[in-house]
């Protein structure tokens, strides 16, 4: 990459990789801000898309996955089905893999309902949320690192969990609220 590099009104003077693992890369850049002042910027580059799946039954029930989340000191989190998919892969194929892996479900009908930039002041992480319908139960294939609980509940109960602050995961909150708006024709 050639420097200096323009990024909108920002000018990146140089860049250094300060950390990397299979999922993320942390970059440090010396910058000129949009007003011409010198500064620094740290960016977390994500190597995967964040994928969320709202699996909905014909009875308007959804599946939630429960697990402990290390970044929040092991706090328990109820979420929609989520995972990652390599940036170069078809996101729908990644969504299908995650649904099967975590719940054993397969779906006949898929719809992309939301694209989001997560924490866009410090990262380039992109999330895609899908609705999966016409579900078929098969055997789950969880990853070795996952200790998951699965529950199925009426969509209204999940919406109430969001409204009470019991579901805090941003992808889950966005997908559940988006589906509530879809149900109302918005």
Write the DSSP symbol of residue 137.
E
CATH number of the domain that residue 59 is part of: 3.90.79.10
Domain count, the chain: 2
Per-residue pLDDT tens for 57-73? 999 999 999 999 988 89
Please tell me the predicted confidence (pLDDT) of residue 186. 75
Share of the chain above pLDDT 90, in %: 90
Residue-number span of the structural domain to which 67 is assigned: 48-183
Q: Summarize the confidence of residues 156-170 as an average pLDDT.
A: 98
Please tell me the predicted confidence (pLDDT) of residue 144. 80
CA–CA gap between residue 7 and residue 28 (Å, rounded):
15
CA–CA gap between residue 35 and residue 51 (Å, rounded):
36
20 and 78 both lie in a single domain: no
Beta bridge partner(s), residue 26: 19, 44
41 and 63 both lie in a single domain: no
65 and 96 both lie in a single domain: yes
100 and 42 both lie in a single domain: no
pLDDT at 92 over 80: yes
168 and 113 both lie in a single domain: yes
Does pTM surpass 0.85?
yes
Per-residue pLDDT band at 142 (split at 50, 70, 90) = confident
21 and 111 both lie in a single domain: no
Buried b (16+ CB within 10 A) or exposed e, 126-159: bbbbbbbeebeeeeeeeeeeeebebeeeebeebb
- With a CB cutoff of 8 Å and minimum separation 6, the contacts of 137 are 104, 105
98 and 175 both lie in a single domain: yes
């Amino acid at each position: 990459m050639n420097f200096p590099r323009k990024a909108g009104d920002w000018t990146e003077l140089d860049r250094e990789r300060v950390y990397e693992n299979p999922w993320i890369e942390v970059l440090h850049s010396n910058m000129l801000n949009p007003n011409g002042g010198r500064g620094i910027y740290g960016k977390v580059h994500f190597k995967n898309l964040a994928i969320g799946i709202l699996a909905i039954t014909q009875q308007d029930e959804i599946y939630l996955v429960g697990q402990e989340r290390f970044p929040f000191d092991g706090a328990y989190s109820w979420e929609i089905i989520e995972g990652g998919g390599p940036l170069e892969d078809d996101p729908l194929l990644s969504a299908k893999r995650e649904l099967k892996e975590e719940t054993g479900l397969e779906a006949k009908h898929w719809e992309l309902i939301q694209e989001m930039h997560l924490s866009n002041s410090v990262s380039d992480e992109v999330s895609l949320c899908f609705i999966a319908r016409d579900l078929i139960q098969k055997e789950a294939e969880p990853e070795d690192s996952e200790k998951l609980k699965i529950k199925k509940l009426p969509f209204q109960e999940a919406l109430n969990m969001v409204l009470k602050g019991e579901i805090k995961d941003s992808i889950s909150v966005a997908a559940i609220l988006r589906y509530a708006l879809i149900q109302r024709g918005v």
